[in-house]
Structure 1
Amino acid sequence: MNLNTLKPALGEKTNRKRVGRGMGSGMGKTSGRGHKGQKSRSGGFTKIGFEGGQMPLQRRLPKVGFSSRVSIITSQVTLSQLDKLTETDINIDVLKKHNLVTKNILRVKVMLSGEINRAINLVGIKPTKGARAAIEAAKGTISE
């Protein structure tokens, strides 16, 4: 196969329709635009959603906000917050017990903020790269 032998698939390329070239072409006289009206004129098209002056649907309906479902069930804790806890095995239930996260939280991320001076064992909690390095430097373990 060479570049000069490449061809598009059969039926992929079609010839453009030549309009306004006489009645024998099948697209003569009005050139497929019908009779009269705004859409038959050159430059005669309205913007998307225009309803002839009536208040458009997208403006009649109320605006509705957006809240990410992921952010509702995800929370963050810092290394300095974990350092204040007395437990060595830390999971989401321990964080809920100490009111570091709310009861509806399903995922927790440990951020590198502050420092940790003791070995902890994270269970089911994901740390950032920097937090992982700090926990492992303090002889801690991470089991996800």
Structure 2
Amino acid sequence: MFLNTIGARDGSRPEKKRVGRGIGSTLGKTCGRGHKGQKARAGGFHKVGFEGGQMPLQRRLPKVGFRSAKKRFVAEVTLTQISKVGGGVIGLAELKEAGLVPTEAKRVKIIATGSVGGVVTVRGVGVTQGARTAIEAAGGKVES
């Protein structure tokens, strides 16, 4: 068997309609287009969604917001939530283990809401400027 010998299986592709071949073919004279009118003419079709001058459906309906595709991979954690993880080093893996961040999250940012419970070291997680000062004021440190 060679690639040049392979063809479509019998019956998988319908035969092309041969229009305008006489009365007996059922596609003679008007060729299945009926009598007169826009659709009977050559090039007599209009754009998709056209409703004969009526305001089309896609323009009648209101626009609806935007959903970010990145949203499920980015998460936020507050300072109060960090204190629930416990002391030591806090990274992406520790936040996932504690259940504060969804498992599919790839990036996390700590925001300055609440207060830090104790001394913590934050590693490999984004931190806002306010959260950084709060962590450092509590005796912890932020590593990139």
Q: TM-score range by the shorter chain?
A: 0.5 to 0.7
Give per-residue Cα distances to partners, 1:49-97, cap 9 Å, x unaligned.
Answer: 9875155474499x78631123221111111111122241011111110
CA distance in 2, matches of 1:129, 1:123: 15
Please give the TM-score of this superposition, normalised by the length of structure 1.
0.56
Q: In structure 1, list runs of 5 or more residues that go unmatched.
A: 1-48
Using structure 2 for the length normalisation, give the TM-score: 0.56
SS of residue in 2 equivalent to 1:142:
strand
d(CA) in 2 for partners of 1:64 and 1:143? 41
What residue number does 2:90 align with? Answer: 90
Gaps of 5+ in 2: 1-48
Other-structure match for 1:99: 99
Q: Percent identity?
A: 45
RMSD between aligned alpha carbons? 2.8
Corresponding position of 1:70: 70
Aligned residues: 95
Stretches of 4+ aligned residues off by more than 4 angstroms: 49-52
Deviations 1:1-29 (A, max 9, x none): xxxxxxxxxxxxxxxxxxxxxxxxxxxxx
Matches of 2:136 and 2:130 in 1, distance apart?
Answer: 10
Cα distance between partner residues in 1 of 2:60 and 2:112: 47
Matched residue, 2:34: none
- Which residue in 2 is equivalent to 1:37? none
